[in-house]
Structure 1
Amino acid sequence: MLQTALLPCAALLMMAGIALGFQAPTSAMPMLCVSAALAGLLLLGRWRTRTAGCLLLTFLLGAALGIRTANPTLPPEGDAQVTGVVAGEVDFRAEKGQVRVILRDVTLNGERIASGAYWTFYLKADENIPDFLTPGARISMTAEVYHPQGQRNPHGYDFRQALRQKNILIGLYGAAKLQALPDGLSLYGLAARFNHRMAQTLRDVCGEKAGQLASAVLLGMRDEVPDEEQEQFRRLGIAHILSVSGFHVGVLVALLALLIMPVKHRRLRMALTLPMLLAYAFLTGGNAPAVRAVLLWALVCWGRIRHKRVLMPHVLCASAMIQLMFAPAQLFSASFQMTYGVMAAICGITAQTAPNAQKKRGWKGKILSLLSVSAAAQFGVLLPELYWFGRVPLLGIAVNVLLVAGMNVLLLLDWVTLLLTPIPWLAALPGAATRAASEGFLHLVNALGRFAPTLWTRQPDAWVVLGWLLVFAALLPFGKSRNRWQNRKKRLPMLAAGAVLMATILLPAPFSGTEYMQLDMGDADAAVLRQEKHVLVVDAGEYGGDLASYLRAEHLPVDLLVLTHLHSDHAGGVRELLDEGIPIRRCVMPSGALAADFDEEVLPLLARMEENGTVIETVCRGDILQWAEGKLTVLFPPEGFSASNANDGSMALLVEAEGVKLLLTGDLSARYGQYAAVSADVVKAAHHGSKNGTTQAFLDESAPTAVLVSTKRENAADYLRGITDADVYSTLESGAIIIRMADGHFTIEQFEEMQ
């Protein structure tokens, strides 16, 4: 029993070590070396002592990997001469004119770096993407090297971590002197060109939509599927089938088995399958989900070649450990967690339900077996789904059997079509069948997803994770009692306790007191004021992803949304709130806001809010908004005020809560600042700290002890420090700025320091 559990324990300890290592400083490495030396002494003891020593060394190895990955040696920031190979599709965002590219085999000023680079640049209105900028191309340019930022807001997007998961440590900005270089020998370039050519061929043979879906499930090019369709997959709880997984590669293994069936020797068949799988992993461009799936099947093939008994839990653990040794940051990726969550649940839970399914003969047994696998898969993916997407898909188990069966058919057709593409006339028939099947499948997914009920939840905490573990443990096959009722008596209390703990995720996160948080949105504005269960949002930024993530993770509906004016850098983020399904009960904006030079993209957002039942009102100077136990007084604009410049008519608010006064000025211009200059403890600087927003006279009149500025410009905080003696807090320096208020006093915390 101990030997059987050794590898799972080692895998869990390695994961725990990596998680701990990501939080530890580099200075902890010497202590790890000393601990490893002491653990090595345990290897000299008896069997149990050696086992303990091996487990301890595995944990320390994970911690060392975590520290090294979290604290890499980076090249200096600044301009550099860059060469590299385009290692994926060129992502062009037409609305902003932005181009995003992943580069591999990168050199900076002639020196090779170990990681890839994330490269962005902007095109002018009359410019097009250069013809030579295609997957696999080798290019040269002058660009600015920068170090990607980590998480800047609570529950916000961690850009640095997302890049680490792709083995990318630096960012590049700009494309001066961009030119093509002669193609050299690059495995990344070869894989990118092959991937691009295969994706284009699939679109030509199968049609645009079918080709996009086939590229995602065969080549790991998930971004080919439009965001709207990916959202429907998430609503149904089947987003994992869009990533290459063991399920997808299993279909390839079955096809390879048919092709090499004439080979009679079993070990030789496995030996032929193994290099084909490795070639497939390479041709997907080293896509992490594809590598993970191929690694799973490669270990199965290797075990069969050696005539070893293959235990799937051991295969899972071994593949996880191998991948984490080379890419520790994968531990924190959604695809890693979903893959191993699903596989672990299927291996564990179906081992308990399989005997019951086998007792049923014929179609009943097969249906019961399919339902048990579907239920296990949904249970395994539940925690990652809750963490990353914040919702429980209620139709998941019901539709999973149907849609996974449909995906099986699609995968077979996709593989046959792809294998026959070198012979166009022969690929036409399966291509037409693939197009029809894919369009029908996507139509079904869109129809079900549009009406699929979901439960909106907060982010799982330790109690929810404990509940999941209790339910999982109750469903595992254990115990030797032959008495069915006796066995159930042991499991039912665990199931009940686990279900109760998991149900707490439907409640808002525990919170008490009063807190104001100025989010880091760059040169945009968004803030959240919380008091017990009441939530006030002041502006939503240009992109409201981090704001929506925070509200979703804490399970917070918005009682009142204040839009200081209708420029997109203050109101554009409403789109993400609506897309995430976050309820907005009431919205206020200044009178005359629609008469100013508002951004046209905001109008559809106001219409969507009204369709969702949001009450939208306008306010003016002197209006008082009661909110929880606090009070909001509108200081500007006065009734009937109109201005062509929306900043001139930006709303200014005085928030009074817990005996503390906060003066929020939006983008109010300096010419009208005098009308909002009242005494306050904290002032949020107008117009991102610019000189035409906040003046010395305004700060002298309001006499704050602290000034907040939401900006991405270094000189904004310097300017404010030059005209006031108050403490100045900049989101550029601090990340999110959190003010906690109680009994007439307040404290300020900076998210960057908290991290």
Structure 2
Amino acid sequence: MSEGAAAPSRPAIPPAFWALVALVACERVALRLAPDPVALARATGIIGALVAGALGLLARTPARAVIPLLAVLSCALAAGALACSLELARQESVGRALASGSVSSWELRVAGDLSEGASGWQGRAEVLTDGRRAGSVWLSAPEELAFGSTITCVGRFSANGEDAWGVSSRMQGLAGNVRVVRVLSRRPRGGPLGTLEGLRGAVLASFDAPSSDARALLAGSVCGSSAALRSRGLDDAFAACGVAHLVAVSGGHLVLVCALVGSLLSRTSLAPGARAGALLVVSALFVAFCGAPVSAVRSWAMSLVASAAELVGRRAHPLSSASAVGIALALAEPGVSGQLGYLLSVTCVCGICLFGAYARFLVRLLVGRARPPRGISPPASAALARASAEAVDALALTLVSQAVTLPLTCAVFAQLSLVAPLANVLLAPLFSVLLSLGLVAACLVGAPLAQGVALACCDAVGRAFVGLLRALAALPLASVPVEVEEGPALALLAGASVLLLVWWPRPSRRALVGLTGVAVSCVLAWFLRWRLLAPACVRVLDVGQGDAILVTDGAHAALVDTGPDASVVEALARAHVYHLDAVLLTHLHDDHVGGLDDLLAVVGVDRLVVAEGVGGSTGAWDLPVSEVGYGDALAVGGFRLRVVSPTGPVDGTHNADSVELALSFDDGTRSLTALLSGDAEKDETGAALARCDVGDIDLLKVGHHGSEVSLTQEQACALDAEVAVASAGEGNSYGHPDPVCVEALERSGSLFLCTKDVGDVCVEPGAEGPRVSCEREAPGEVLPW
């Protein structure tokens, strides 16, 4: 693009967009803060003021023209409050009915594909009364239940609590959880939808999704069934590459469906209006066939709005259409405002409508005009130019989509894909080919021989797609752990968007290149500071009811245990750790190893370390494995971690099998000694003391989460730790840490801290004793020892 190329004009923002923003924000706040009317009223007022302020900044019309917009905003807030009141009343009514009576007296209809977890199959279900939907619940079952089937069962209902899970369920329109004990009856759905669901089941069976990565991808993209993708680990690769939207049935799928059907209809004698109607009907059937995911429903509804506008002689305005559809969905089902699929779909489409053209301008300005190689023919040169332009457009739209959805994706998945722009440019064309072939294969489900040919082609393209996907996901720093709080991040995004819309700069290419270079340099310097110059410290991470201890020094980092779940990824993001030399598992209990799969999907790990005798139980993790025994030592920068227990081979299944590590650091000016106990208790720690493997220390990571049997008063005095830290989850059912343990440590003179109270605890070597700082206390406090 030339230096003087004009920037696109500032987009026109319709009143419907402001109404959508106010409505969704109001519904999310109302459903989150439902039990607290004072907080709810305050938050609703703040939302109205912020949206009105943004509107005022952007309004370039006389004050009298703003008044109707403020009226629209007020109506949106009122409508959202009313819709949420009705939704909360419905949840309360359903919950009260299920809790007061027998679950077996109700019918439940499976509302989507169930996913298999450690405790059975989980998914959503509709509660039916007289064949009509009364509400929705989570469904947990001991066996797989077909999508669309209606069941009666013996089970137990649990209403939503005020914990994070309960609030999230309420925000998604779910009244609680029904745990199925025994299925009494089941029947498929009848009518046209039942026929469509039966066809979907036949297509899925013909695809044989569990048999290969390519078939799992086919089932997800054509039928909207992601179970096989999850079971084969492809969902982690999609997340790492930032291309999960490709397989989620949405607007891109409908475009291909309409293109294929449109090419067939163009050969008929149907009038244009009839062809448009046929396309809408076929695309609606495809959306229903895929299980009507909200992103696909939104896309289809936008097509309907655009077609209606064309029929009445008006040109469709994409942002108005997206806003109107988003409003309709949120009013009809307020729970969608708490569902990630809806939020990502609406945010992405609105973001592209607002900033897509501007992003294309900036990217084209940055990369400049590509000159075709010498000696190629004019047709080849034209094809190369088209491909280059399409790649630039895909890159621009990917950057916009990723930017506007960052607050949501980073808050939910705790990772940021750095390879997403490249991955989208490379993978999107292959995916379009695969989806087209898959749609043809689905249509041939009744002709096995012809379908076999189509599936063979799908396999070839699918293997190429998955191979490239996994290669991109395996790149160093393909994705990095991040910790983002959704609310502040959304506020920051909104502020930046308003600033950009008001400013709407038209930079020169030189200025844009310089600004990009500065930004990249700052990010690179920040990354290198944490990757190569991390402070020497032992950090007991707050991962809930589990253990995870991070040891860092300079360019080296190791993790002792991984906590119970994905919270370890967020904890590593707080510590700015993007690579681990090793992960040492003290033993194989879930609260110490449960987060390893999530960690491996985001953070690079060189090797896995376990106790002698446990290596044969680590086959589920594709990592080099080292076994360590009594007396062996590991180096992490200037830290030395020596194994002091167990003294022989173990199988890792008992607390007594826990690896206990005596840690030491001394660089001549600063020092630190510690005992990291895993789940070892007083017998194991007492034996280590008796062998003189450990003595007076600075830091004790209290064994077994501070249970009563963690250590005795005598052992606490012998260790004489300046700081004792227990890792436990808030409100845990075990009562950890036990008052007996806490009292013993405090009597010995230790400062006792627990992660459930203070968050992450960082202990650094010091010249006159350890330096201790806590996530939720003033950092840098120097202990008086």
TM range (shorter): 0.7 to 0.9
For the 8 Å contact 2:149–2:186, the answer to whether it is kept is: no
SS at match of 1:114: strand
Q: 1:674 to 1:477 in 2, by over 3 A?
A: closer
Per the alignment, residue 28 of structure 1 pairs with 39
Q: Which moved more, 1:81-90 or 1:350-359?
A: 350-359
Per the alignment, residue 602 of structure 2 pairs with 580
Q: 1:447 to 1:252 in 2, by over 3 A?
A: closer
Per the alignment, residue 624 of structure 2 pairs with 609
SS at match of 1:608: coil
2:154 to 141, 158, 161: 141
Deviation at 1:551, TM superposition (A): 2.6
1:717 to 735, 760, 771: 735
Within a 5 Å distance, the mapping from 1:614-629 to structure 2 comes to 618=629, 620=631
Residue 224 (str. 1) matches residue 201 (str. 2): no
1:390 to 404, 416, 424: 416
Q: Distance in 2 between matches of 1:171 and 1:31?
A: 30
Q: Distance in 1 between matches of 2:84 and 2:557?
A: 37
Per the alignment, residue 372 of structure 1 pairs with 392
Q: Distance in 2 between matches of 1:441 and 1:349?
A: 31
Q: Distance in 2 between matches of 1:191 and 1:90?
A: 18
Deviations 1:181-222 (A, max 9, x none): 566879997875554344225549x99766543332233223
Q: 1:404 to 1:574 in 2, by over 3 A?
A: closer
Per the alignment, residue 449 of structure 1 pairs with 469
Structure 2 gaps of 5+ residues are 1-8, 57-61, 372-377, 690-694, 747-751, 778-785
Q: 1:712 to 1:18 in 2, by over 3 A?
A: closer
The letter of the residue matching 2:136 is: S
2:659 to 651, 665, 674: 651
2:123 to 82, 87, 102: 102
Residue 687 (str. 1) matches residue 725 (str. 2): no
Q: Which moved more, 1:376-385 or 1:437-446?
A: 376-385
Q: Distance in 2 between matches of 1:681 and 1:78?
A: 52
Q: 1:27 to 1:185 in 2, by over 3 A?
A: farther
For the 8 Å contact 1:467–1:497, the answer to whether it is kept is: no
TM-score (structure 2 length as normaliser): 0.70
Deviation at 1:248, TM superposition (A): 0.8
For the 8 Å contact 1:80–1:143, the answer to whether it is kept is: no
Q: Distance in 1 between matches of 2:543 and 2:489?
A: 30
Deviation at 1:241, TM superposition (A): 1.5
The letter of the residue matching 1:520 is: V
Deviation at 1:440, TM superposition (A): 1.2
- Percentage of pairs with the same residue: 15
The letter of the residue matching 1:178 is: V
The letter of the residue matching 1:686 is: G
Per the alignment, residue 155 of structure 1 pairs with none
SS at match of 1:390: strand
Q: 1:406 to 1:451 in 2, by over 3 A?
A: closer
1:244 to 225, 237, 249: 249
Q: 1:178 to 1:695 in 2, by over 3 A?
A: farther
For the 8 Å contact 1:353–1:372, the answer to whether it is kept is: yes
SS at match of 1:5: coil
1:328 to 329, 333, 337: 337
Q: 1:737 to 1:375 in 2, by over 3 A?
A: closer
Q: 1:149 to 1:31 in 2, by over 3 A?
A: closer
Within a 5 Å distance, the mapping from 1:304-343 to structure 2 comes to 304-325=310-331, 326=334, 327-330=336-339
Q: Which moved more, 1:372-381 or 1:9-18?
A: 9-18
Q: Which moved more, 1:452-461 or 1:437-446?
A: 452-461
Q: Distance in 2 between matches of 1:21 and 1:530?
A: 43
Deviations 1:146-191 (A, max 9, x none): 647866xxxxxxx668756864452344x33431156687999787
Q: 1:539 to 1:179 in 2, by over 3 A?
A: same
1:302 to 303, 308, 317: 308
1:176 to 165, 173, 181: 181
Deviations 1:532-578 (A, max 9, x none): 8764522224x553324533573433356444346665356545444
Q: Which moved more, 1:225-234 or 1:666-675?
A: 225-234
Deviation at 1:376, TM superposition (A): 2.1
Deviations 1:370-424 (A, max 9, x none): 2232222332344458844433228x54x75664334333333333443454xx2
For the 8 Å contact 1:136–1:193, the answer to whether it is kept is: no
Deviation at 1:31, TM superposition (A): 4.0
SS at match of 1:310: coil
Residue 49 (str. 1) matches residue 67 (str. 2): yes
Q: Distance in 1 between matches of 2:159 and 2:337?
A: 22
For the 8 Å contact 2:567–2:595, the answer to whether it is kept is: no
Per the alignment, residue 154 of structure 1 pairs with none
SS at match of 2:259: helix
Q: Distance in 2 between matches of 1:119 and 1:45?
A: 55
For the 8 Å contact 1:11–1:317, the answer to whether it is kept is: yes
For the 8 Å contact 1:413–1:434, the answer to whether it is kept is: yes
For the 8 Å contact 1:458–1:507, the answer to whether it is kept is: no
For the 8 Å contact 1:86–1:137, the answer to whether it is kept is: yes
Q: Distance in 2 between matches of 1:222 and 1:534?
A: 37
Q: 1:294 to 1:501 in 2, by over 3 A?
A: farther
For the 8 Å contact 2:124–2:136, the answer to whether it is kept is: no
Residue 413 (str. 1) matches residue 413 (str. 2): no
Deviations 1:707-753 (A, max 9, x none): 6254799553278225653688777xx388422558757566679xx
Q: 1:642 to 1:688 in 2, by over 3 A?
A: same
SS at match of 2:418: strand
SS at match of 2:339: helix
Q: Distance in 1 between matches of 2:552 and 2:30?
A: 33
For the 8 Å contact 1:654–1:662, the answer to whether it is kept is: yes
Q: 1:418 to 1:513 in 2, by over 3 A?
A: same
Structure 1 gaps of 5+ residues are 122-128, 152-158
Deviation at 1:309, TM superposition (A): 1.0
Deviation at 1:45, TM superposition (A): 7.3
Deviation at 1:698, TM superposition (A): 4.5
Deviation at 1:439, TM superposition (A): 0.9
Per the alignment, residue 520 of structure 1 pairs with 543
The letter of the residue matching 1:310 is: A
Deviations 1:96-142 (A, max 9, x none): 5x42132422379x998622214154xxxxxxx48x77751313122
Q: 1:567 to 1:183 in 2, by over 3 A?
A: closer
2:680 to 656, 664, 668: 668
Q: 1:670 to 1:249 in 2, by over 3 A?
A: same
Q: Which moved more, 1:315-324 or 1:218-227?
A: 315-324
The letter of the residue matching 1:27 is: V
Within a 5 Å distance, the mapping from 1:59-74 to structure 2 comes to none
Q: 1:559 to 1:679 in 2, by over 3 A?
A: same
Per the alignment, residue 4 of structure 2 pairs with none
The letter of the residue matching 1:391 is: S
For the 8 Å contact 1:508–1:556, the answer to whether it is kept is: no
Deviation at 1:249, TM superposition (A): 0.5
Deviation at 1:435, TM superposition (A): 0.9
For the 8 Å contact 2:115–2:227, the answer to whether it is kept is: no
Q: Distance in 1 between matches of 2:776 and 2:217?
A: 43
SS at match of 1:668: coil
Alignment coverage as a number of residue pairs:
699
Per the alignment, residue 295 of structure 2 pairs with 289
Q: 1:346 to 1:162 in 2, by over 3 A?
A: farther
Q: 1:641 to 1:730 in 2, by over 3 A?
A: same
Deviation at 1:311, TM superposition (A): 2.8
Q: Distance in 2 between matches of 1:220 and 1:242?
A: 8
User: CA RMSD, aligned part only?
Assistant: 5.6
Per the alignment, residue 124 of structure 1 pairs with none
The letter of the residue matching 1:244 is: V
